[in-house]
Structure 1
């Protein structure tokens, strides 16, 4: 994937300052297993994941726990929803 991209680490509270757009390639299906693991790590172990997603200003990365997951979004603390089609990478 595009993990080689330079990504700016931002605070999850600053997500609202960016316009989230679709990633150049939809990785949501490829990342499904990693998303499930990130959800389990967040819920059971309070462990953080590194989530890289696309914004109008280029790729951004946050480090946070994944709270919930739907067919189209992942939710993090504060009720923040990230569209799955904006995701570039998930690492933990």
Structure 2
């Protein structure tokens, strides 16, 4: 999987930018599955996203999903257009 792994509490230390390729439409099914895993099974998902410091990766529970963002614990929002990869 792509990117340096970081703690979810450190996400706000990085400036999240759009990925080279917007995969948000392609990843919709995986995003919905990650949301269901988090809400129903309290299962974690690994999310890789683009920052100005290069790709970063976090293992966390997806709490909610909107048209443009996924939300994780602590109200942290990750823009879908910044997501590079999702794995669970």
Mark yes or no: TM-score above 0.5: yes
- Residue 21 of structure 1 deviates from its aligned partner by 0.1
TM-score normalised to the size of structure 1?
Answer: 0.94
Cα deviations across residues 15-70 of structure 1 (Å, max 9, x unaligned)?
01100000000000000000000000000000000000000000000000000000
Q: Which runs of 5+ in 2 are unaligned?
A: none
Q: How many residues align?
A: 88
Q: Name the counterpart of 1:82.
A: 78
Matched, 1:32 2:28: yes
1:55-74 to 2 correspondences below 5 Å? 55-74=51-70
Q: Name the counterpart of 1:45.
A: 41
Give the Cα separation in 2 of the matches to 1:70 and 1:90: 16
TM-score normalised to the size of structure 2?
Answer: 0.98
Give the Cα separation in 2 of the matches to 1:17 and 1:55: 10
Give the Cα separation in 2 of the matches to 1:42 and 1:16: 21
